[in-house]
Structure formats: structure tokens, C-alpha cells
């Protein structure tokens, strides 16, 4: 597929796998060219002779990905898991990283986001199809520019980006485990980075 991006998705495999599959299907239907993978895919690739080889191959896989995306759910990812190792590798290698909040927060979800990478440059957005699509199309270049300006830590889009997307022709597509909880309030707290860098 032309322009396809390899995207690593970190998730709680016990609780968020269905949402992950729904998201990947939605992105495909909406012409977002990605090759998604998770640590579950990585683990089934083959046998590892040692833990060192396993970690080395995981880091290689992360380094060769265009993005690292973490799905932030009600249950935090096990801090000892291979997913946390992969996220730490992504942060260390400065891979563009996006956090998708199932509770629809537009800023960092400090209760559930992995503590190990809390201070890394990560874009935090709600798990809504259109904003995820926008981020996957633009955050790689934006994160490089923001990083060169010395920005670190969590960032989020300004409200005018959501207004722009809301004015689009497609209805907002949210991925929610419990539709009755869709009313979670979006954060209006000030951001250290209030608008995306110019394309």
C-alpha cells in the first residue's frame, strides 16, 4: 500500500483488544494506510534464544515503526509487561508517540497513562476516529518540530483543531467500551503546546 506506515499499538490485551481491532478496521475503511502490530504479534513471530535477543528484536521492531500508539484504558498496563518495555524503547528512540484515551480526555490521563514515560513527549488525544486519523497523518512531522523547539512531556491539541474536525463532513467516530460513559468531560486545562506546528 502506497505510503503505508508501520504503527506499534500498545494496549492492555485482556481488556482493549476489541477496541484495537475496531480502530484498525475503521482506519482501513477511512483510507489511513498503516501496517499495525502489537506485542502479541511480536511474541508469536518466533522463538527467542534469550531475553537479550527478545529485547533487541523488540527495539528493532519499534525503531522501524513510524509511530508508537498507546491505548489508555480504565486499567493501567502492567508496568512489568513487554508493552511497557516497547513504549520505553519508543520513547528512548524518540519515536512519535500518541496516547489514545478511551475516556475521551483531550489531555493526559494521569490515572492510567504509564508512569515510566509520563515525562516523555507524547500527544494525548481522545479515542475518536477523526482525531486519530489527523494525528497519524501529521504528528510525525509535528513532533520533530516540537522536539527541536525543546518541548518535552505531555502535549495536546488546541480546541480549534477539534472545531476544524467537527466542521468536516464525517460524524465523529468514538471507540468506547461503555457507550453510557461517553459523557466524560474533555480537559480544558492550559497546554504547554496549544497548536500544532505548521505543516
What DSSP letter does each residue of 147-189 carry, written as one string?
A: HHTT--SEE---HHHHHHHHTSSSPP-B--S-GGGTTPPPP--
Architecture of the domain spanning 5-181? 3-Layer(aba) Sandwich (3.40)
Q: Render pLDDT for 43-66 as a digit per residue (tens, 0 to 9).
A: 887 678 888 998 899 999 999 999
Q: Where are the beta strands (DSSP E) in the chain?
A: 5-10, 34-37, 67-72, 97-101, 122-126, 154-155
Domains in the chain: boundaries: 5-181
For residue range 18-27, what is the model confidence (pLDDT) as tens digits? 999 999 999 9
Amino acid at each position: 500500500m502506497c505510503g503505508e506506515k508501520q504503527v506499534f499499538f500498545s494496549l492492555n490485551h485482556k481488556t482493549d483488544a476489541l477496541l484495537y481491532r475496531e480502530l484498525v478496521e475503521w482506519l482501513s475503511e477511512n483510507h489511513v494506510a498503516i501496517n499495525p502490530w502489537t506485542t502479541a504479534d511480536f511474541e508469536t513471530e518466533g522463538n527467542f534464544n534469550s531475553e537479550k535477543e527478545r529485547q533487541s528484536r523488540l527495539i528493532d521492531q519499534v525503531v522501524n515503526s513510524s509511530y508508537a500508539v498507546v491505548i489508555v484504558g480504565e486499567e493501567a498496563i502492567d508496568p512489568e509487561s513487554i508493552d511497557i518495555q516497547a513504549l520505553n524503547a519508543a520513547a528512548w528512540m524518540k519515536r512519535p508517540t500518541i496516547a489514545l484515551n478511551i475516556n475521551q480526555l483531550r489531555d493526559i490521563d494521569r490515572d492510567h497513562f504509564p508512569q515510566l514515560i509520563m515525562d516523555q513527549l507524547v500527544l494525548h488525544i481522545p479515542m475518536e476516529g477523526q482525531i486519530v486519523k489527523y494525528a497519524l497523518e501529521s504528528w510525525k512531522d509535528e513532533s520533530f518540530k516540537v522536539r527541536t523547539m525543546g518541548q518535552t512531556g505531555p502535549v495536546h491539541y488546541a480546541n480549534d483543531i477539534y472545531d476544524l474536525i467537527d466542521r468536516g463532513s464525517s460524524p465523529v467516530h468514538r471507540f468506547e467500551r461503555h457507550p453510557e460513559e461517553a459523557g466524560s468531560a474533555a480537559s480544558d486545562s492550559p497546554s504547554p503546546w496549544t497548536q500544532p506546528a505548521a505543516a
